Structure 1
């Protein structure tokens, strides 16, 4: 009867009695890991995919073919070798240019932006919305989803789900925005539920998610940007108002026991500084955001324009103005002090800065790094790399990652369920 025998659960066994998983079943279980490898750029060829999955060439080929049949990736018809590469040429793998997209949205103090984001973190289309953010989250989220629907109609893309980035800690598992300090929303607004309702009303397929904007920016940068390859990644960013932080530990976003970890905006960096919304004084949130820079430079903010854009333009176009230079240096010193404290506590292997903080780093990288080194316990001996975030609209890309995650977990199941 040969070396195989019927097992008790109906599956074939090896000669030593171990149950052998059929190749088709092994391939199906590898669809998600395979898609994530291509999605994050870690499997550019079928040979690399085979190695990373730890499967046979035949199984890797079957997996890639099924992902292509789902409209998620493309396989080059002819194998090719990279310049200088050794060994047998391999079929190159790429993400489908015309594949499905996730609807991503970000709400901030100056309005909102909606976008369609494909696999690989590629923004296919986006549209900003200038709108006064009133006390009812449902109002602006209806506008957000309507904008996204128009983008879907214009592009003809299939939507796998929706993700929302908000400037607030978002409690898990409720999905409530606990402290939308720079919006008029009530504390504890059920933003995930409201967003999901608007998505369903629009007739869109797929689940809907919501999370803190800086957490999502860090997730996007870790998968597709300046954080790729970092094990313990610290992200600190200031957008239109306020300061947020996020931490990726051992490759996974760290959100704490209920989604509220790393509220770095409320580290005190200037005890005699401005009063903060949290009740303290001199926090990063009010000492290193765009309004802080404009105020320190003696500029009156334009109420009709983006504070972030105004602050960035001030640094870019008037950096030699004594008042602008002094304000920039003051914010760099305060930011460096906050980063040093975080380095002492968290010991990250990389720091990335976004929003206005990215502009402060560009303005005087040596000054910022020197402040961190002088004030951190391990700064002089280790020298933690401090880099600028590289993705445009990384919070939008991160919001899309939330919507893509069910597909990355189970491509066949997620796409089949949506019909």
Structure 2
């Protein structure tokens, strides 16, 4: 191979490493150039060139003069971090009680967010138009470049069509083409970049796996209840598992109480209606009010579980139902970590020993190899997850995505 060919081959290798390198910095797994070199399996010079290219694109920062740790020897490696003045993506979340929009940078950092809004009407085009309008306002105020948009919805999203197959807790028609509508509204608002849509719990799991309580897990199970219903998601071998058509892990329709409440799916005693905020309020004998969301009412009530025996019994009842569902999932999926979000996170924090004991007692592997059960750690993790899918084209190929 002649000199020009050798140089060209090195250049192509370096360009091919841009995406993997950016993802390592984005997820915090390459805080220094030395770590980046080792993770990529390239020479120090190539790692330096890759980092410099990403810095020139405005995606990361390279600190060539980091302070050495006390007592350390040798020259400290250059520190790498995401550029907190770089481009952003628009992220949006729809839920039963309203919607929220935010701007999210690399590293899962929320740059700006608008207050939660309500109400979600039966017309998805109207709601998505409103959320994009709010997001466009955030972008104008920030002056930042936008490179994409992501939307989290409380429904299974069928692939490849991008339709909300069964949005039980918002009054949208089944099969609403949410991705198409969202993309149209994003383009009409003059917002740059492609638009993506996904199920809210799937996206929350993706965010937690990259930036939160799920980091380092190979087989991560996420179960959460937000404003209504119960959702689940699975990360397998480091990648979000959505099944053959985007519909995997509809855990809300596991039966945990055969004689329980009728479910919207036509069944009875599903996790969806036995372990969500409305179920908690009902178990505690409280009549839901219209003033604030069911989730907030449940959180406020949960704060009294130490002093109110009725609330304490309701907490135990929901924990037992949730634990039964989790045990069944452990038996089927054998995850190496479970993370819980929304009200489930707070039930775990209220009585972690009871939940872990129920799961261990009911699962085949519980007594010999208990699965760690942790609380989600990210604020607005579905929003951050919506941003993750919008960032993915840049993580895959920064040069191509930013040049388009």
- Fold conserved between structures, TM > 0.5: yes
After TM superposition, give the deviation of residue 79 of structure 1 in Å. 4.2
What is the CA deviation profile of residues 343-402 of structure 1, one whole-angstrom value per residue up to 9, with x for unaligned ones? Answer: 000000000000000000000000000000000000000010000000011000000001
Task: Note the 1:344-359 alignment, pairs <5 A.
Answer: 344-359=331-346
After TM superposition, give the deviation of residue 339 of structure 1 in Å. 0.2
Whether 1:312 and 2:299 are equivalent positions in the alignment is yes
1:379 aligned counterpart, secondary structure: coil
In the alignment, which of 372, 377, 381 is matched to residue 359 of structure 2? 372
CA contact (8 A) 2:323 2:359 kept: yes
Q: Which runs of 5+ in 2 are unaligned?
A: none
Q: Per the alignment, do residues 237 and 86 of structure 1 end up closer, same or farther by CA in structure 2, a change over 3 Å counting?
A: farther
After TM superposition, give the deviation of residue 318 of structure 1 in Å. 4.5
Task: Let me know the Cα RMSD of the aligned residues.
Answer: 1.4
2:97 aligned residue: 110
Whether 1:183 and 2:177 are equivalent positions in the alignment is no
In the alignment, which of 129, 138, 143 is matched to residue 125 of structure 2? 138
After TM superposition, give the deviation of residue 97 of structure 1 in Å. 1.4
In the alignment, which of 263, 269, 276 is matched to residue 250 of structure 2? 263
Q: TM-score, normalised by structure 1?
A: 0.94
Whether 1:385 and 2:379 are equivalent positions in the alignment is no
After TM superposition, give the deviation of residue 131 of structure 1 in Å. 2.1
1:15 aligned residue: none
2:106 aligned residue: 119
Task: Note the 1:18-417 alignment, pairs <5 A.
Answer: 22-82=9-69, 88-417=75-404
CA contact (8 A) 1:243 1:285 kept: yes
Q: Which runs of 5+ in 1 are unaligned?
A: 13-19
2:326 aligned counterpart, secondary structure: helix
In the alignment, which of 2, 5, 8 is matched to residue 11 of structure 1? 5
Q: Per the alignment, do residues 319 and 147 of structure 1 end up closer, same or farther by CA in structure 2, a change over 3 Å counting?
A: farther
What is the CA deviation profile of residues 83-104 of structure 1, one whole-angstrom value per residue up to 9, with x for unaligned ones? Answer: 5656541010111111111100
CA contact (8 A) 2:209 2:215 kept: yes
What is the CA deviation profile of residues 302-321 of structure 1, one whole-angstrom value per residue up to 9, with x for unaligned ones? Answer: 22311111111111245421
Q: Per the alignment, do residues 358 and 84 of structure 1 end up closer, same or farther by CA in structure 2, a change over 3 Å counting?
A: farther
Q: Per the alignment, do residues 111 and 89 of structure 1 end up closer, same or farther by CA in structure 2, a change over 3 Å counting?
A: same
CA contact (8 A) 2:304 2:311 kept: no
Q: Distance in 2 between matches of 1:332 and 1:83?
A: 47
CA contact (8 A) 1:163 1:403 kept: yes
CA contact (8 A) 1:80 1:91 kept: no
Q: Distance in 1 between matches of 2:360 and 2:371?
A: 8
2:340 aligned counterpart, secondary structure: strand
What is the CA deviation profile of residues 54-82 of structure 1, one whole-angstrom value per residue up to 9, with x for unaligned ones? Answer: 11111111110111111111111314444
Runs of 4+ that moved beyond 6 A:
none
Q: Per the alignment, do residues 184 and 21 of structure 1 end up closer, same or farther by CA in structure 2, a change over 3 Å counting?
A: same
Q: Distance in 2 between matches of 1:202 and 1:276?
A: 39
Aligned residues between the structures = 404
Q: Distance in 2 between matches of 1:318 and 1:112?
A: 29
CA contact (8 A) 2:90 2:104 kept: yes
Q: Distance in 2 between matches of 1:319 and 1:384?
A: 27
